[in-house]
Structure 1
Amino acid sequence: MQRADAAVTAAAGWSHRTGRPVVAVPGPGDGTLGVLRALEEARQLGAPVLVISHSPTIVPRTVRPGDSAEVAPLPVGLEEVTVGSIVVRPTDDLRAQVARARDLAMTAPGGPVVIHLPPGFPSAPVAPEPEDPDQPVDSGTATTAKPVEHVQLRRAANLVDSSQNVLIWVGGGAMRAGAGGAVAELAEKVGVPVVTTVHAAGLLPARHPCLVGMPPHLPAVGALWDDADLVVGIGTDFDDESTQGGAQPDPDSLIAINVDPAAAGRRYRPDVLLRGDARTLTKALADTVGYRGGTAVVRSRLDEVRSTVRRQLEAAHGPEMAFLNAVSAAIPDRATVVTDPCAAGRWLAAFHEWTLPRTLWFPPTLDAVGSAVPAAIGAAAADSTEPVVAVVGDQGLLANLGELATMAREKLPLTLLVVDDGGAGRLRPLLDTLGLDPTTLDRPTPDFAALARTFGMRADVIEVIGEDLTKALRAHIAAPDPTMLVVRTRLAAPPTDQHRWYRQQAWQQ
Structure 2
Amino acid sequence: MPSAPTCAQVLMRLLREYRVEKVFGIPGVHTIELYRGLPGSGLQHITPRHEQGAAFMADGYARASGRPGVCFLITGPGLTNAATAMAQAYSDSVPMLVISAVNRREDLGLGGGRLHELPRQSDVSRGLCIWQHTLTHAEQLPEVIARAFLLLTSSRPGPVHIEIPIDLFPAPMPGQLDDYRACPGAQPAAASAKAVATAAGWLQEAKRPAILLGGGAQEAGLEAAAISEKLGAPVFLSLAAKGVVDERHPLCGGANLSFRCARERVESADVVLAVGTELAETDRNLVRENYAFRGKLIRVDRDPAQLTCNASPDLAICADARETLEQLNGALQPRSDAAREAAAAEVAQILRDCRAEWWPGSEARFPWVEALRAALPEDGVLVTDSTQLAYNTNHALPLYHPRSHITCTTGYGTLGFALPAAIGAKLASGREVLALIGDGGLMFTLGELAVAVEQRLSLPILVWNNAGYGEIRDFMDAAEVPREGVELRTPDFVALARAFGAEGCRIHRPDQLADAVAGARARNTPTLIEIAVA
Tell me the TM-score range normalised by the shorter chain. 0.7 to 0.9
Give the match for residue 157 of structure 1: 200
Tell me, yes or no, if the aligned pair for 2:211 and 2:235 is still in contact at 8 Å. yes
Tell me, yes or no, if the aligned pair for 1:220 and 1:309 is still in contact at 8 Å. yes
Post-superposition CA distance 1:124-153 (Å, at most 9, x none): 99xx99899xxxxxxxxx625234322222
Answering whether residue 511 of structure 2 is matched by residue 467 of structure 1, we say yes
Map 1:223-262 → 2, pairs under 5 A = 223-243=264-284, 244-262=287-305
Answering whether residue 528 of structure 2 is matched by residue 484 of structure 1, we say yes
Whole-angstrom distance in 1 between the partners of 2:260 and 2:138: 61
Map 1:316-335 → 2, pairs under 5 A = 317-335=362-380
Tell me, yes or no, if the aligned pair for 2:256 and 2:354 is still in contact at 8 Å. no
Tell me, yes or no, if the aligned pair for 2:104 and 2:165 is still in contact at 8 Å. no
Instruction: Summarize the Cα distance change of 1:366–1:329 in structure 2 as closer, same or farther, 3 Å threshold.
Output: farther
Give the match for residue 420 of structure 2: 374
Give the match for residue 494 of structure 1: none
AA at the equivalent of 1:208: H
AA at the equivalent of 1:449: V
Whole-angstrom distance in 1 between the partners of 2:166 and 2:86: 22
Whole-angstrom distance in 2 between the partners of 1:86 and 1:48: 16
Answering whether residue 347 of structure 2 is matched by residue 302 of structure 1, we say yes
Let me know the Cα RMSD of the aligned residues. 2.9
Aligned residue among 249, 253, 260 for 1:212: 253
Whole-angstrom distance in 2 between the partners of 1:129 and 1:215: 45
Aligned residue among 81, 84, 91 for 2:131: 84
Give the match for residue 451 of structure 2: 406
Map 1:56-205 → 2, pairs under 5 A = 56=103, 75-92=122-139, 94=141, 97-122=144-169, 143=186, 145-175=188-218, 178-205=219-246
Whole-angstrom distance in 2 between the partners of 1:266 and 1:431: 32
Give the match for residue 8 of structure 2: none
Give the match for residue 19 of structure 2: none
Give the deviation of 1:399 after TM superposition. 0.6
Whole-angstrom distance in 1 between the partners of 2:78 and 2:103: 12
Whole-angstrom distance in 2 between the partners of 1:288 and 1:399: 50
Give the match for residue 481 of structure 2: 436
Moved more, 302-311 or 319-328: 302-311
Give the deviation of 1:261 after TM superposition. 2.4
TM-score after normalising by structure 2: 0.80
Tell me, yes or no, if the aligned pair for 1:193 and 1:302 is still in contact at 8 Å. yes
AA at the equivalent of 2:518: R
Other structure's SS at 2:201 match: helix
Instruction: Summarize the Cα distance change of 1:325–1:91 in structure 2 as closer, same or farther, 3 Å threshold.
Output: closer
Other structure's SS at 1:444 match: coil
Other structure's SS at 1:81 match: coil
Answering whether residue 54 of structure 2 is matched by residue 7 of structure 1, we say yes
AA at the equivalent of 2:133: I
Tell me, yes or no, if the aligned pair for 1:257 and 1:275 is still in contact at 8 Å. yes
Other structure's SS at 1:416 match: strand
Other structure's SS at 2:257 match: coil
Where structure 2 has 5 or more consecutive residues not aligned to the other structure, the ranges are 1-47, 109-118, 172-176
Give the match for residue 309 of structure 2: 266
Tell me, yes or no, if the aligned pair for 2:88 and 2:412 is still in contact at 8 Å. no
Tell me, yes or no, if the aligned pair for 1:261 and 1:275 is still in contact at 8 Å. yes
Whole-angstrom distance in 2 between the partners of 1:425 and 1:123: 51
Give the deviation of 1:54 after TM superposition. 0.4
Give the deviation of 1:247 after TM superposition. 4.8
Give the deviation of 1:323 after TM superposition. 1.2
Give the match for residue 335 of structure 2: 292
